[in-house]
Amino acid sequence: MSDERVRALRGATTLDHDDRDHLIERTQELMAAVFARNELVEDDLISIVFTATDDIHAAFPAEAAREAGITHVPLLCARELEIDGGIRRCVRILVHAYTRRTPRELRHVYLHEARQLRTDLPE
């Protein structure tokens, strides 16, 4: 029996401005960091859920995954809760994947202004 398990990985990034190319670039940067830090390849992926704050209108974050060549993985976009004092122009991801890593070995990724969401994690 394989020691692979289904695990969930979190990550977030922020945009400097609401622009399609910038959103694609920052979302791809986030996905690449999550995949690299956790040694994931596309075949390990089960699904990815993206959320975006209400101030993002330029594109769906899932477009970044499709443009990066992720074509067989189910993707879903949703709105993030609008909370007083929350981070502006924030894209979050929840990646479901098969991995041999234990929960303590997983490396969640928070980039740019989203680092403040998880100051307990290493960069």
Average pLDDT over residues 103-108: 94
Q: How many domains does the chain have?
A: 1
Q: Which domain holds residue 75?
A: 5-115
Sign (positive or negative) of CA dihedral 98, 119, 92, 70 = negative
Domain assignment present for 120: no
- Kindly report the three-state secondary structure assignment for every residue of 72-114: CCCEEEEECCCCCCCCCCEEEEEEEEEECCCHHHCCCEECHHH
Q: Tell me, what CATH number does 69's domain have?
A: 3.30.1330.40
Domain assignment present for 10: yes
The model's pLDDT over 1-54, given as tens digits with 9 standing for 90+, comes to 468 899 999 999 999 999 999 999 999 999 999 999 999 999 999 999 999 999
Note the pLDDT of residue 78.
97
Q: SS3 of 9, please? A: strand
Note the pLDDT of residue 80.
94
The whole-angstrom distance between residue 83's C-alpha and the CA centroid of its chain comes to: 20
Note the pLDDT of residue 12.
97
The model's pLDDT over 65-89, given as tens digits with 9 standing for 90+, comes to 999 999 999 999 999 998 998 999 9
Residues marked as catalytic: 10, 66, 77, 80, 92, 110, 118
pTM above 0.85, yes or no: yes
Domain assignment present for 109: yes
